[in-house]
Chain A
């Protein structure tokens, strides 16, 4: 099976990096404050601090670039095809005839970077198909295209 045709926006790397940095900063700074300020910090806290600092740096450096190579998407006349993840890959394929709703969402970081996430829901409880880290304009175009084709399809998509 070939990979979906399109890459996501290059700015998605920045978004994933910032997200990871913020997450790890909370963990590391939290532990660091205890080590610095507490009267008698437990000995193992220095160890976990060092470990989380190292793991954090590696994660921040590796994950976004790895993700960028994995995350891909493609829409054809009758299907939406995506690939996401990094260590574990998830490929999703949804026929356009079974799509129920298509929408975009933009978190604060994404607004800053002019990115958007397209969410395609089907009738299943397995969760929607998401394309994260798309350029705003591309996302808007996908939503328009899919909305047009979905409306043209009769039935209740179950």
Chain B
């Protein structure tokens, strides 16, 4: 090399920055976000509840505390970016000082809640390669101006970039929201769940406020009808009502979360997912850190030929859905996005999977049916000994054939294969997941053999990885197949321990 004869060039060092504060508008925005969440409660307090002095005092006190906390946390939070690390000091009661080496930053997640957006702000969450066991372990700057957030993203993800210049790098679109995808929204159970949450919240609120439902004429009428009408009429009406509400709720949820969804690839080697109606998120994933994808096909979504895609990457915050690559969408679109994201001609998740031995079916069936049988037996015993109503155990017998079907489906879905660069494994029935994990991203193996598995000649082999869940399992594979799989997937690791 000729370089040795030249004088060493001075290393380029970004000027160590002064300590920065979060945007001053956060004094208002943080309480605003909190208050937006409390709005229904406050409304109920003032309008519906019997206005007593202590309620008003508590209400005003709460608002005051929230505002004061917003001010204090703004005063106590400061950050700076030096040439080697990101430092964050924060905490009102418990002072925290955190420093993250910049070369450990893997992902940057920009989130703007409604309150943020009114003021053009965004919260920046920085993910490192370390697994975050508890939320809030990474660095969260909540919040800075949207331009500052964008600048930080650039600074964090391409190291040598000059801190000041904000030039948008070239981007290639991979996928964007198609309005027809809304038909997949009702196929997730999110609607049902949000109804349950809302009902629970409403009940709780009513309870807190000593609100009597029987005071409202509509509710009285409904209850009157419920008690007098025949149950053959009540059940279909109730079912239809729940169905309609859950479809509406799931559509709203899809709109809120996935409005203006866009997946793009950027010239600086990152993938970016942008989505959201009120709360907008923009998650940047360093492609170099992507270890694969997970294709989620819950039972209903699968029945509608839809799928959801998440990234298997190091440094993604698992709590807050950061890893979503594609919201519920048609399966062919999911496959296309998979291939594009992983830069392969055909998606590994479409590869033909090898089935597992029949012993695995027996195990799946036993594991699915046993709980149902046990439940029925327990209810039957209680009927006989403790005079529980008979219909309980009779209805629970219906679970047994259902569990058989689930067991069979679980077996049918089991499969694994190796492609050139990926280990593919699929399992589950109610929540079927197909994982494509880059073979070079495997950092070890875990093999479990329970007593029953040893007798059936099976084992479960888990590919350990730094990304995503930390490990992805191929359950109940025949012993020789499992060992061969591990040996082929990562050459020269397991070989030395195989008996010749």
- Mark A residues whose CB is within 8 Å of B: 1-2, 4, 74, 76, 78-79, 81, 87-95, 98, 122-127, 129, 156-158
Contact in complex: A158, B314 (CB < 8 Å): yes
- Assuming the contacts A124-B464, A124-B471, A125-B469, asked whether A90 and B448 have C-beta atoms less than 8 A apart, the reply is yes
The tally of CB-CB contacts under 8 A between chains A and B is 97
Most chain A Cβ neighbours within 10 Å, of B445, B451, B498: B445
B232 CB within 8 Å of chain A: no
Residues of A within 8 A of B490 (CB): 95
Knowing A125-B469, A126-B462, the reply to whether A92 touches B444 (Cβ < 8 A) is yes
Contacts of B464 in A (CB 8 A): 94, 122, 124, 126
Give the residues in chain A near B84, CB-CB below 8 Å: none
Top 5 closest pairs, chain A to chain B, by CB: A125-B470, A123-B466, A158-B466, A98-B443, A94-B444
CA distance A92 to B448 in the complex (A): 9
Quick check: A88 and B449 within 8 Å, CB to CB?
yes
* Contact yes or no, A90 B446, CB < 8 A: yes
Interface pair A95/B443, CB less than 8 Å apart: yes
Q: How many residues of B contact A (CB 8 A)?
A: 35
> Is B131 an interface residue, CB under 8 A from the partner?
yes
A79-B493, A88-B450, A123-B131 known, 15 other contacts, Cβ within 8 Å:
A2-B499, A78-B493, A87-B450, A87-B451, A94-B464, A95-B443, A95-B444, A98-B444, A122-B443, A123-B129, A123-B443, A125-B469, A125-B471, A156-B104, A156-B129
B465 at interface by CB-CB < 8 Å:
yes
- Please name all residues of chain B whose beta carbon is closer than 8 Å to the beta carbon of A79 when the two chains form the complex: 493, 496-497
CB under 8 Å from chain A, chain B span 426-452: 443-451
B220 located at the interface, meaning its Cβ lies under 8 Å from any Cβ of chain A in the complex: no
Least Cβ–Cβ distance between B470 and chain A, in angstroms: 3
Inter-chain contact A93/B497, CB cutoff 8 Å: yes
Tell me if A89 and B497 are in contact (CB < 8 A): no
- From B486, B494, B496, residue with most partner A Cβ within 10 Å: B496
A124 touches B499 (CB 8 A): no
Please determine whether A88 and B448 come into contact, CB atoms closer than 8 angstroms.
yes
- Of chain B, the residue at the smallest CB distance from A120 is B444
